[in-house]
Amino acid sequence: MNTRSAEASLLESEEQVLETAQAALHNKTLGSCAAPFTELTRQYARLLRHIRHLIRVSDRMQEELNRLNEQLRQSEDKYRSLFENAIEGIFIAQLHGGLLCINPAMAHILGYTTPEKFLQAHQGGEQWPFVDHQDKERLFNILEEYGRVKYLQARMLCQDGQILWVEINAQAHPPDARYANAWVEGTLSDITERKKMLEELRHLAITDSLTSLYNRRHFLELCKQELRRASRYRLATGLLVLDADRFKTINDTHGHALGDEVLRIIGRLCRAQLREVDVIGRIGGEEFAILLPQTGFPATCKIAERLRSAIEQTALPLANGGTLRFTVSVGGCVLANGRLDIRELFKVADQALYVAKNKGRNRVEVYPADPASGDDATQPQ
């Protein structure tokens, strides 16, 4: 017999008792006991009404509780389904950083077949596979201070040793670190391809597609930054402008494909002859520019001559078995105190290049960019 049947039987029995008592009062068989028995019957009837009311209330409460339990079950099933089937990684952790669980997607992102295998692999040591441990500290410090973190990017190590870029969004519950049982729920996305694409776009935006040197716009931006530094610390700076001699004749005689190869060779020779700190760019058709930080007048002249000579000595094999030799003219200037802007430097270097061309090409001309240029300028060590 279930609980509901037992309650019904009890009420039915009690109502029969009440009916018997009311019948006795109606038949007037109680004599002098009628008055107290009447009061007792009245109170008993009221008690039964209260019991019936409480049972109805209890029934409604039970129905509501059943409905809420069903909603909770459906919500848990929905959350579990989202947790298990989401394509984004999901994790739950303690606010101090201890990892409680992850979903299959996060395990797969990090190279594991199941969440259990990931947790087993990391239970003996560091649970979070950050490449830089400071990224973990940054993540949980932000969560502890602000209760949430958005778009935090970091590098993580996969099971196979591959390094991935990931983006983390997380929320603390409750969003107050004072609670001892605070926990964290967050998502983790693999953004490696996005980072590669952005890096490729950045590379395309700043480089010349033919020579892979900096393009004119980015070269000028870097020059402005370097000249600001030179001005602050009073450092000497050299600027060289190289122009391929008789380049139109090369194109007309041998074709544009070979002319492009000449430009690529000039770019490679420049990179090979210069320091990492030197800034090289292709600023026009057959024109190149080089900024030489912390380089005084004698060193600038020496570098320009070394470049000219290296290019002059280079021979490009031709399809007919012959070779093509080509040269450059170099114009340069040296700024001793860093007080001119890049446009003024180019104006002086262009004047020097014009003189080099007029004196027969394949030569170097370097001028001081200001009257203070000389040996007192700061030289590189």
Q: Are residues 214 and 358 in the same domain?
A: yes
Who has greater pLDDT, 299 or 81?
Answer: 299
pLDDT score, position 372: 46
146 pLDDT more than 50: yes
Task: From residue 132, give the alpha-carbon distance in Å to each of 137, 138, 165, 366.
Answer: 10, 10, 12, 48
- Domain of residue 115, CATH code: 3.30.450.20
Whether residue 140 is contained in a domain is answered as yes
Q: What is the structure's pLDDT at 32?
A: 64
CB 337, CB 234: distance < 8 Å: yes
Relative to beta strand 364-368, strand 287-293 is unpaired
The pLDDT of residue 178: 63
Q: Which is more confident, 196 or 86?
A: 196
pLDDT at 271: 95
**Given 61, 82, 103, which residue is the final one in a domain?**
82
Residue bearing the bigger pLDDT, 182 or 82: 182
pLDDT, mean of residues 339-353: 91
Determine the structural domain holding residue 353 and report its residue range: 207-368
Tell which of 62, 82, 102 closes a domain. 82
Residue 375 lies in a domain: no
Flag the least confident range among 23-32, 48-57, 318-327: 23-32
Q: What does the pLDDT read at residue 261?
A: 97
**Does 241 lie in the same domain as 170?**
no
Q: Are residues 263 and 356 in the same domain?
A: yes
DSSP helix/strand/coil, 166:
strand
- Which whole number is the average pLDDT over 341-347? 91
What mean pLDDT do residues 65-90 have? 78
Both 114 and 51 in a single domain? no
- Look at residue 243 and tell me if it is in a domain: yes
Least confident interval from 54-63, 93-102, 309-318: 54-63
**340: pLDDT confidence band, cut at 50, 70 and 90?**
confident
Of 350, 323, 379, 121, nearest to 240 by C-alpha is 350
What per-residue confidence (pLDDT) applies to 381? 29
Indicate if 249 and 219 belong to the same structural domain.
Answer: yes
28: pLDDT confidence band, cut at 50, 70 and 90?
low
Opening angle at CA 174, ends 140 and 131, nearest 5 = 15
Percent of the chain's residues with pLDDT above 90: 62
Residue 356: partners with Cβ closer than 8 Å, 6 or more residues away: 329, 330, 331, 363, 364, 365
Residue 373 lies in a domain: no
pLDDT of 90 over the 70 cut:
yes
CB 201 within 8 A of CB 222: no
Q: How many domains does the chain have?
A: 3
Q: Stretch 369-380: mean pLDDT, rounded?
A: 47
Higher pLDDT, 375 or 273: 273
264 and 224 fall within a common domain? yes
106 and 184 share one domain: yes
- Do 260 and 353 fall into the same domain? yes
Based on its alpha-carbon atoms, the radius of gyration of the chain, rounded to whole angstroms, reads 43
Model confidence at 177, pLDDT cuts 50, 70, 90, reads low
Model-level pTM greater than 0.75?
no
Q: Does a structural domain hold residue 379? A: no
Beta bridge partners of 102: 91
363 and 240 within one domain: yes
- Of 44, 67, 82, the position where a domain reaches its end is 82
pLDDT, position 13? 74
What pLDDT does residue 229 have? 92
123 or 180, greater pLDDT: 123
Q: Higher confidence at residue 205 or residue 23?
A: 205
Instruction: Give residue 378's pLDDT.
Output: 37
Q: Are 325 and 292 in contact (CB under 8 A)?
A: no
Cβ atoms of residues 344 and 275 within 8 Å? no
In this structure, what CATH number is given to the domain that contains residue 244? 3.30.70.270
In this predicted model, which residue has the larger pLDDT, 23 or 214?
214
pLDDT of residue 213: 97
In a domain, 60, yes or no: yes
Stronger pLDDT, 231 or 42, i.e. the higher one:
231
- On whether both 131 and 184 belong to a single domain, the answer is yes
